[in-house]
A and B are shown apart, each in its own frame.
Chain A
Amino acid sequence: MTESEYIPPYRRVLSQAAIRTLLVAQFFMFLVFVPYMPNWFVLVFVFAVFWRWRVIHGQLKKPPVWLVLSMIVAGIAGIVASGFSRYSLDTAVAFCLLGYLLKSLEVLRRRDGIFQVYLGFFLSGVYLLYRFDPLGALLLVFLVLSNLLALQAVTSEGHFRLRYALKQSTVLMIGAVPIMVAGYLFFPRLPPLWNIPNDERGAQTGMSDEMRPGSVAELAQSNEPAFRVSFNGERPPRDQWYWRGNTMSVFDGETWRARYTARNPFAWPRNIDLPVAEGSRYDYTVIQEKSGQRWMYFLDWPVQIDGADRRILPDARAAQIRPINNVYRYQAVSSDRVSWSEETGAQRLDLALPQTGNEALRAWANERYQEAGSDWAFVERLLTEIREQDFYYTLRPPLYRGEDSIEAFWLGERRGFCEHYASAMAFMLRAVGIPSRIVGGYLGGTYVPGGDYIQVRQREAHAWVEVWIDSEWHRVDPTAVVSPNRIEMNLDELFMGSQPEELSVGARLGRATLVNQMIMYWDNLNYQWQVLVLDYDNNQAIGWFTSAFGEFSPLKAVLALLSVMGGLSLAFGLWLGLIPIPKVQKEPYRSLNKIERLYGGRGQGETLHQYAQRLAGQYPHHQALGPLLQQIEQCIYDPETDLDRYELRHLWQTLQQERKQDSSLV
């Protein structure tokens, strides 16, 4: 054995197995981020792999400084050139990943390896910002495992065994689960400390607060879920499944916009009265997918919505100050009939139209209004027009552009999607002086019996009109006239019958029964995941805590945590064999041991019989001793005899009494 100098662990050189395992972990880490990063990152990764390969084959040297510097400069230039120039999460992640890849050029010592693994843990957390569905969580478990394996390889002093490492890592991960759950349940959910804008993660989906021609049809091509609703109690009838998203009341000739936009949430009015419920009330919970927007969805018409950072806007919308970058759950109450509070001045604004454009349509509308005589008659007249003329409902309408786009639709092609009908109708109502606005949202959904909720996908996107007549907003849906089945059916069901070619492949595939069932199962799983995990509200856990231990206080929480940890430690100690369990001796050896303890042990070579005789001589008053020993002897040497437990206990009791008398005599 040679005398060796003590090298602190952090400075030890990594073994080949460690470098290889690190490389594998890095590969998985990199792989999950590929969809979110520019493609040329693959080149960086290939270069890193090449360098590692060199290291494995004997080039145990740090890369030259010029190489590292030029890689860093090239990487930063590449990131900026790829459009990640703004201060945002994606940019930060891109830099982080670049560092993660380039760091591997100089991983030679344990310290570097550990750094790499820890960065991997952190990046796993970052990955959860992009994906938080059950599959993402599974991937996370896998990523943590591979990083733990790498950590074990790095710290294994050159004795890396995959089986052993797998076992240890699994034990570590499973053993850590109870504390993880406790922390997850009880750690208070704090508000964000600072704000980092993000692009990819915050990519906006769902109804936006403006509606261009064609935007709803575009949305209707998507199979993504938008939100899920579960009713506490009765569900409204199917034809009432109008899910309100946005109210758009500003029109510029082409695009409808919301009056209160996402750009300046601080200008939103506060403390607005919502309509008061007059019809049947529906109490429900919505779980909204991340949309990157501020609008929340609810059944028409909302009368109540919970949440502190949620605002009710005067145009019957609810919005959150911060964008919805996560799955959110909220409770709301709606009613099918409401009485509207007098909104002074608002209705006047809902008459505004551009000065010019669609002149022929304005004239056409005014003419019909004169004929109709009343507001309601005019609305009816418009619907009849749609019903009687050859209007056609399609997902792929021609593009109507320019100042006279509405006219081109209504008086020209007459092929359009819900947004075209709604837009044209609202325009004509305004043209004749009836306040009206467009509501963007969703119509329909799929009831999932397994989870007792209604799933609404993006493809259920819809737009309709609200009209102010008799001091009340009324819903008017022109789609119900042009395609009456749309109210009862989802879009894919509707088009599957008549125009399947207009649907996306995914939607068509989803119509197959088996696939449909599987999709529903998966959706249910997602729903449960969202309810139980993502949108977990720790008030509930604190509720349990309070009911069990009284008022919540940090001291109590710490004590509870410590006692949980203590209990778990004990359990793990037993499980891992750290705490030996004392073996209970079987009868009759236990009794024999006890006698030997009380009366002194047997001498060397002394048989049980001799022992009994000796004790009988020494302790004549202890009558029970003889029979007791006799029974023990019999039991040990005669396998035929069964132990008479009752007798044994009786003899012991007698002996105890005799001993007591003995000691009292003394």
Chain B
Amino acid sequence: MIGRFRKRVRKNLDQWVEKRLPQQNDITLNQSRIFIVPTRQGLVLLIIAVLVLLLAINFESALNYALAFWLMAMLWMAVHLTYRNLSGLTLTAQSGTLVEVGDVSELTLALSSTQARSRGVLECIHPVWGAIAVDLHEHEQVVTIPVPAEQRGPVMPPRFRIESRYPFGLIVAWSYVSINVKGWAYPKAVRQDRQAVSASGDEDESTLNDHFYKEGSEDFHGLRTYQPGDPIRRLHWPGFSRDQLLVKSFTDYQATDETIDWEQFPGLSTDSRLAAIAWYCQKFVEQGRPFGVVLPNAEIPVGKGEDHLMRVRRQLAEFGYD
């Protein structure tokens, strides 16, 4: 009964917070966003103050009256100091890393403010990553939040709590921050068989792609013995006349299968296709072969190397989230 009631209160509270503190690209903390209450430690200080007051009453000690009220007033004064740590602080979304699904994406926020002031240690708290402490001492700081990527697409930090107990731990001021900073997760590579597709309807061509010939003829590599399945066009006719079955061979990277096409994986779901593309991209890079990618909404020209791979992966991650 009480548990259910608590759950309902919790839910209402969450909704209220959601409405009051919407997601934004940059957030400046002010009086409408900061919550502030004494900590348990602060309340214990009150108890100590009352004990001192008892000393004052019982031993008729005038100065202890002063000390008791001094301690109480310190708690009140600490409210201002702690509030000051958060007030005017601006959180700005900066960047997020690109990771594979299942890995941890690092999202970067900048903490800055117009007034230069020492704000002590702030903590960004969420069950997912625990607590991240940021020491804001007279300059701006960048905080990196690790968020595990659970599925392909954008990785966003959940609404987290930024809190300050500085300088004495007597008061805790906090705000819930939902900030629009994004990392991306590309799909985990899964192997699927590629099926040939013919480009641009040149049905009579038996090769996968005919523009290879036009371009690749420049980079003639050498001759090799014929293997069954080699296209007849590549036969080396002068060699044939000497009874040698040779084919003109071109360098590997000029292989015809350099483009990984969305259409090469028919009958699969979107995510499986993307996973398959990711697998081939990875393979190509491992083998040092250049490749391009064709997606329904984008075409990435042929390239090679890590940068290229990252670009492709980014595309895969963003696919469907534009």
Contact = CB atoms under 8 A, between A and B. Distances in A.
Contact of B58 (A6, A164, A179, A194): A194
Contact of B52 (A122, A190, A327, A572): A122
B88 to A, nearest CB: 8
A121 B48 contact: yes
Contacts of A536: 62
Interface residues on A, range: 35 or more
Contact of A128 (B51, B67, B135): B67
Contacts, number: 190
A126 interface: yes
Contacts of B51: 122, 125
A6 B126 CA distance: 8
B84 A161 contact: no
A122 B48 contact: yes
Most buried by B among A151, A534, A535: A151
B41 A572 contact: no
Contacts of B41: 10, 114, 155
B131 A6 contact: yes
B112 interface: no
Interface residues of B, number: 62
Most buried by B among A136, A159, A325: A159
Interface in B35-62: 39-41, 44-45, 48, 51-52, 54-62
A1 interface: yes
B118 A164 contact: yes
Contacts of B59: 89, 129, 192, 196, 325-326
Interface in B57-111: 57-74, 76-78, 80-81, 83-84, 87-88, 104, 106
B167 interface: yes
Given A121-B71, A125-B68, A536-B62, A577 B115 contact: yes
A169 B78 CA distance: 10
A122 B49 CA distance: 8
Interface in A150-204: 151-152, 154-157, 159, 161, 164-165, 168-169, 171-173, 175-180, 182-184, 187, 189-194, 196
Contacts of B63: 128, 132, 136-137, 140, 533-534
Given A1-B144, A161-B137, A187 B69 contact: yes
B130 interface: yes
A6 B130 contact: yes
Contacts of A269: none
Interface in A277-329: 325-327
Interface string A4-24: 111101100000000000000
Nearest to A141: B70
Contact of A187 (B58, B61, B65, B88): B65
A171 B78 CA distance: 9
B208 interface: no
A327 B62 CA distance: 9
18 contacts: A4-B131, A6-B127, A7-B130, A110-B169, A118-B48, A155-B167, A156-B167, A157-B121, A157-B123, A172-B167, A179-B70, A179-B77, A193-B54, A326-B62, A565-B76, A572-B77, A577-B88, A577-B115
Given A9-B169, A184-B69, 15 more contacts: A3-B104, A3-B129, A4-B130, A4-B132, A6-B125, A9-B39, A128-B63, A137-B63, A140-B63, A144-B70, A180-B73, A184-B66, A193-B57, A326-B60, A578-B87
Interface of B: 39-41, 44-45, 48, 51-52, 54-74, 76-78, 80-81, 83-84, 87-88, 104, 106, 115, 117-118, 120-121, 123, 125, 127, 129-133, 135, 137, 144, 146, 165-169
